[in-house]
Amino acid sequence: MASRFPLVLVNGNLSELPAGDTLSVVLPAPPHNDLAGLQGGAAGEYYHLTAAQATDVSNLSSSLSGKQASLVSGTNIKTINNTSLLGSGNIALNSDSIALRNVGAGVAELLTVTDMADHFLTGAVVNGCGATDNGNGTFSIASGEVMIRDAASDHSSLHTFALSAAGPFTPADNDVTYYYIDYNGGNPVWASGISTSDYNGQNKMQAYSVARQGTRLFIIDARGQSLDGNRKVRRLLLETSGANQNGYWHTRGGSVLAASGLALSVTQGKFYYGLAPIAHTAFDTTVAGTADANVFDYYYARNNWTYTANSKTINSTQYDNAGTLSNLVAGRYRTDWVYLVLSAGTPKLVVVMGNAQHASLAEAQAATMPASIPAWMDGASVLLGQAVVLKGATTLTIQSAFNTGFTGSPTATHNDLGALQGGAAGEYYHLTAAQATDVSNLSSSLSGKQATLVSGSNIKTINGSSILGSGDINIGGGTGSASGFEQSFLLMGA
């Protein structure tokens, strides 16, 4: 049988496929969803994923873990003043919208956060406003933020302001100047005064206390007294010993005055100015050099203050005689007074020379404090103690205001000793052996002696006349009178 080849359509005519040719037959692909064994999906829904989508599906469980359930106002998200937080728009809140309800009987008002601030907080420098000493007797204040009341009342409204940098300021020379922020009708300005009554802590709020001595400034920083006030009050009460001078409270320990020869020393310590802590360094004038910690200013002439700067030792030969340095009399004492001028920067030691001579150490130690001190340090200093010196001595007797005992040289004068018995102030006489014997025999010597005669008490009178004293009593003859003596004589003569 002859071979037969498949017929193919060529140019519209059926022809046999030539020998040696290959016939390719392309069958149409069936629809995907008609295939057997399809997994997942649903009838008519057998979608494939991209690689990224497949990754997302794999991570879906971990991605959803911990996600927030749908929010339902009032159910799993609160409302504010009964207003839903869900949806578009804005809810404007101010401090007056946030309140604490007063449940007191008969009180229907709400106490707002603003009310709380006005009643319970205090104005303060919240940030900045630092002081810079310009080194020429002036200082400048940096910009900052403050909170201050709008009136001189404990319950007036508090306001916050941003202050620009200010200065330079020139404090009064040889005086203490107080710098404060004045509300000034809503336009706060820096102001100053030389009295603590110039500011009130309400609409005039203190920031600095500045003592000036020429080009030297001693700045006390009082900006942050009201910040965290509760804690600061507790620290003040815990640390201070109750010793208060010029508004400065001394903490326990430190600031102890002592001497080495005629030189002075002070241990480091700390004070509080209101609620502002002020620490000071130690002083020792035996150390060479003129650093502030190793010298003191020596003042005298109280009516026209004069001083010697960079002093190292106490004068043991002179005293302030109404403004003139005069020689002490041998055996006499002088009492000097030692002060510490406090500062947030470098503090200063000042000594005021005594203006009197004292006959004894006890008298010198009982001397009265100066009625006045240099004006520039009055209100900026504290008294550390007294230094008593004997004419020509090489040591000092120190009484420190901030320790429980006194230090100093041994007593060389009998009447300055302690526990003296008998005598009186300035009168402690000793007896010779003979005088001591007489005193011992005094009781027996007086035994049986007549007590002092008192006319009419332990010796009679005659005719009402005392017989004590000089002179004569004349008793004459009788004439029949009934008087005792005259009658006796008449009877005897009968």
DSSP 407: B
Bigger pLDDT: 481 or 186?
186
Q: What is the mean pLDDT of residues 339-347?
A: 91
Q: What is the mean pLDDT of residues 315-339?
A: 95
As a whole number of angstroms, the distance between CA 327 and CA 335 comes to 14
DSSP 358: B
Question: Considering the chain, what is the average pLDDT of its residues?
Answer: 81
Assign 229 to helix, strand or coil.
Answer: helix
Among 90-99, 177-186, 274-283, 470-479, the range with the most confident prediction by mean pLDDT is 177-186
Q: What is the mean pLDDT of residues 310-335?
A: 95
For CA atoms 355, 357, 360, 363, give the dihedral sign. negative
DSSP 304: S
As a whole number of angstroms, the distance between CA 216 and CA 341 comes to 12
Task: Give the max Cα distance, the chain.
Answer: 234
Query: Among residues of the chain, what percentage have pLDDT more than 90?
Result: 39
pLDDT digits (tens, 9 = 90+) for 406-430: 444 455 567 766 666 776 766 777 7
pLDDT digits (tens, 9 = 90+) for 89-111: 887 766 555 555 555 555 545 56
Label residue 323 exposed, middle or buried (CB < 10 Å: 0-12, 13-18, 19+): middle
For CA atoms 382, 406, 310, 315, give the dihedral sign. positive
Residues 124-160, buried b or exposed e (16+ Cβ, 10 A)? bbbeebebebeeebbbebeebebbbbbeeeeebebee
pLDDT digits (tens, 9 = 90+) for 153-175: 888 888 889 999 999 999 999 99
- For residue 408, what pLDDT is reported? 44
Least confident segment among 132-141, 318-327, 473-482? 473-482
- For residue 392, what pLDDT is reported? 95
Assign 242 to helix, strand or coil.
Answer: strand
- For residue 485, what pLDDT is reported? 39
Residues 53-83, buried b or exposed e (16+ Cβ, 10 A)? eeeeeeeeeeeeeeeeeeeeeeeeeeeeeee
As a whole number of angstroms, the distance between CA 202 and CA 118 comes to 11
Q: Which amino acid is at 5?
A: F
Q: Which amino acid is at 98?
A: I
Alpha helices in 240-332 (DSSP H): none
Least confident segment among 238-252, 311-325, 340-354, 473-487? 473-487
What's the predicted TM-score (pTM) here? Answer: 0.52
Which residue carries 């055996």 as its tokens? Answer: 331
pLDDT digits (tens, 9 = 90+) for 13-25: 666 766 666 666 6
- For residue 14, what pLDDT is reported? 63
- For residue 411, what pLDDT is reported? 57
Strand 296-300 vs strand 348-352: parallel, antiparallel, or unpaired?
A: parallel
Bigger pLDDT: 298 or 476?
298
Bigger pLDDT: 134 or 238?
134
Query: Among residues of the chain, what percentage have pLDDT more than 70?
Result: 78
pLDDT digits (tens, 9 = 90+) for 30-80: 787 777 777 777 887 877 778 887 787 787 777 777 777 787 887 877 777
What does the angle CA 301 – CA 377 – CA 287 come to, to the nearest 5 degrees? Answer: 85
- For residue 472, what pLDDT is reported? 72
Which residue carries 């700067």 as its tokens? Answer: 309
Q: Give residue 115's pLDDT band: very low, low, confident or very high (50, 70, 90).
A: confident
Query: Could you report how far apart the first and last alpha carbons of the chain are, in Å?
Result: 234
Q: What is the mean pLDDT of residues 230-241?
A: 74
- For residue 93, what pLDDT is reported? 64
Strand 283-284 vs strand 263-266: parallel, antiparallel, or unpaired?
A: antiparallel
Among 71-75, 132-136, 480-484, the range with the most confident prediction by mean pLDDT is 132-136
